[in-house]
């Protein structure tokens, strides 16, 4: 017979395993999406460039492919979410991981425009679509795992690890890109160096697979499975998804604008070097990473609403001054570094409590599908399209403040949606 202490140790070990296994796939996903964003100008030259297209047109086409992958996310969220709510979180997350790691590795071996002509961008777009499907199935399952295993008083902190691995993944992509840009010549980087981050997804994926094979099913799902299946209230779920999108759109837009689109914006619009753009991105992601876990922890104490609403409101207030500081040629590098660091820091206030906030909006029997769709739809519209919208609007209007206005408008909407959160959601048990 097991003692209470032994039972507690087993529970703690199981919770820690769920934390690692739940977040590792997210790390692989955002590492790849970060690498694609950081190498957008190189990919544009290799896959979308011909004698008849300008650099701006190639970059826009690259971001169109980037956005397309995001629009496959809701499909993946619906398909894999339905499977995850029916047969379990664990087997679904294993399947999602295999698709994600395989499609990311494929990018590293794809032939370029110079090799096979017009077929190259189509092949890249097809692989990006597969990545979008897998990414759509990843978030809902991983957050369900983290929050359903978490102690009630620590859901914000445990859910924040999902967002924290976004920062780690983006930093890993930026770090590897910085190393390659520093150690390789420009010709080598454009020729084969850009492939390295995508090929690295294979060993990363194998490690992630090993961790997920050791994962157990969540107690919430196991408990619901023992009962008679209940029909889902479609209208209630749809309403929650729509509200979730409103609460997330500022995080989606600001996160991708400041953390992923920034390198190409700095190069194409402000004429920064590739190395300068990467340094700025690393600083922004460092600020993002440093605030996520404290924000999740704080939301367990005072609630999701005050922490997330404060983050969205700060973006509205600070976005334009920070952007103007980056544009000012008289500003020193230190001041610009602080500006991008603060931008990332503020986004982390929304990203930390966000996963737990979403999990608390849906019952166990629809949680994988519901929170996955809310997140993926928000990301499809406001993250995946960020680079395309910003680049196209700057091209049409010559207004280099477009990135600031984009995040200000979306975060203003999120402030209103976040104020509808109940103040005690963080203290309640997850609904079955």
Using 50, 70 and 90 to split pLDDT, how confident is the model at 137? very high
Q: What is the arithmetic mean of pLDDT over 103-119? A: 88
Res. 104: pLDDT tops 60: yes
Using 50, 70 and 90 to split pLDDT, how confident is the model at 215? confident
Among the ranges given (243-252, 274-283, 420-429), the one the predictor scored with the smallest mean pLDDT: 274-283
Q: What angle do CA 42, 75, 255 make, to 5 degrees?
A: 50
For position 57, what pLDDT does the model report? 63
Task: Look at the block and give the residue holding tokens 């930093």.
Answer: 171
In this predicted model, which residue has the larger pLDDT, 61 or 410?
Answer: 410
Q: What percent of the chain stands above pLDDT 90? A: 39
For position 349, what pLDDT does the model report? 96
For position 325, what pLDDT does the model report? 82
The C-alpha R_g of the chain, in whole angstroms, comes to 21
For position 114, what pLDDT does the model report? 85
Q: What percent of the chain stands above pLDDT 70? A: 90
Is the Cβ–Cβ distance between 43 and 36 less than 8 Å?
yes
Structure tokens at 228: 């008679």
Res. 370: pLDDT tops 70: yes
For position 58, what pLDDT does the model report? 63
For position 75, what pLDDT does the model report? 94
For position 311, what pLDDT does the model report? 96
For position 4, what pLDDT does the model report? 42
Q: What domains appear along the chain, each with residue ranges and CATH number? A: 13-214+233-427 (1.20.1250.20)
Q: What is the arithmetic mean of pLDDT over 385-405? A: 82
> What digits encode the pLDDT tens for the residues 182-194?
888 888 988 899 8
> What digits encode the pLDDT tens for the residues 152-170?
899 999 999 999 998 888 7
| pLDDT, the chain, mean | 85
For position 33, what pLDDT does the model report? 73
Number of H helices and number of E strands within the chain? 21, 0
- Give me the half-sphere count of Cα atoms (radius 13 Å) on the Cβ side of residue 424: 2
Is the Cβ–Cβ distance between 379 and 75 less than 8 Å?
no
Q: What is the arithmetic mean of pLDDT over 271-277? A: 72
For position 10, what pLDDT does the model report? 37
Among the ranges given (97-111, 187-201, 329-343), the one the predictor scored with the smallest mean pLDDT: 329-343
For position 240, what pLDDT does the model report? 94
For position 423, what pLDDT does the model report? 86
Measured CA to CA, the distance from residue 149 to residue 386 in angstroms comes to 34
Res. 141: pLDDT tops 80: yes
Q: What is the arithmetic mean of pLDDT over 229-243? A: 83
Measured CA to CA, the distance from residue 325 to residue 365 in angstroms comes to 48
Q: What is the arithmetic mean of pLDDT over 300-315? A: 96
In this predicted model, which residue has the larger pLDDT, 310 or 53?
Answer: 310
> What digits encode the pLDDT tens for the residues 20-64?
888 888 888 888 877 777 777 788 778 876 554 555 666 666 666
Res. 121: pLDDT tops 80: yes
> What digits encode the pLDDT tens for the residues 396-409?
888 888 888 999 99
For position 171, what pLDDT does the model report? 79
Is the Cβ–Cβ distance between 72 and 136 less than 8 Å?
yes
- Residue 78: alpha-carbon gap to chain centroid: 18
């Amino acid at each position: 017979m097991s003692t209470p202490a032994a039972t507690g140790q087993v529970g703690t070990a199981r919770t820690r395993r769920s934390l690692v296994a739940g977040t590792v796939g997210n790390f692989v996903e955002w590492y790849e999406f970060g690498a694609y964003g950081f190498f957008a100008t190189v990919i544009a030259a290799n896959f979308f460039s011909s004698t008849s297209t300008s650099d701006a047109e190639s970059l826009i086409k690259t971001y169109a492919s980037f956005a397309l992958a995001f629009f496959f996310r809701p499909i993946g969220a619906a398909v894999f979410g339905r499977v995850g709510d029916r047969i379990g979180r664990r087997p679904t997350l294993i399947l999602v991981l295999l698709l994600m790691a395989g499609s990311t590795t494929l990018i590293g071996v794809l032939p370029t425009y110079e090799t096979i002509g017009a077929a190259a961008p189509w092949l890249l777009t097809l692989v990006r679509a597969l990545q979008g499907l897998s990414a759509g199935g990843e978030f809902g399952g991983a957050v369900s795992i983290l929050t359903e295993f978490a102690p009630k008083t620590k859901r914000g902190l445990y859910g924040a690890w999902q967002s924290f691995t976004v920062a780690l993944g983006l930093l890993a992509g930026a770090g590897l890109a910085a190393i390659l840009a520093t150690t390789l010549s420009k010709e080598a980087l454009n020729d084969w160096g850009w492939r390295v981050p995508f090929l690295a997804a294979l060993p990363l994926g194998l490690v992630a697979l090993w961790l997920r094979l050791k994962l157990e099913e969540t107690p919430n799902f196991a408990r619901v499975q023992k009962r008679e299946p209940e029909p889902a209230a479609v209208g209630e779920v749809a309403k929650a998804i729509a509200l979730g999108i409103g609460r997330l759109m500022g995080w989606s837009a600001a996160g991708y604008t400041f953390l992923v689109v920034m390198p190409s914006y700095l190069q194409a619009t402000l004429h920064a070097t590739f190395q300068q753009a990467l340094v700025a991105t690393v600083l922004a992601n460092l600020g993002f990473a440093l605030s996520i876990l404290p924000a999740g922890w704080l939301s367990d104490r005072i609630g999701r609403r005050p922490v997330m609403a404060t983050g969205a409101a700060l973006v509205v207030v600070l976005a334009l001054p920070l952007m103007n500081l980056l544009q000012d040629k008289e500003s020193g590098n230190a001041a610009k570094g602080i500006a991008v660091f603060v931008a990332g820091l503020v986004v982390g206030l929304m990203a930390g409590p966000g996963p737990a906030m979403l999990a608390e909006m849906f019952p166990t029997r629809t949680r994988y599908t519901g929170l996955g769709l809310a997140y993926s739809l928000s990301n499809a519209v406001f993250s995946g399209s960020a680079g395309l919208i910003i680049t196209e609007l700057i091209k049409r209007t010559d207004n280099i403040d477009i990135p600031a206005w984009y995040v200000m408008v979306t975060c203003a909407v999120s402030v209103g949606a976040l104020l509808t959160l109940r103040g005690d959601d963080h203290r309640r048990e997850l609904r079955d």
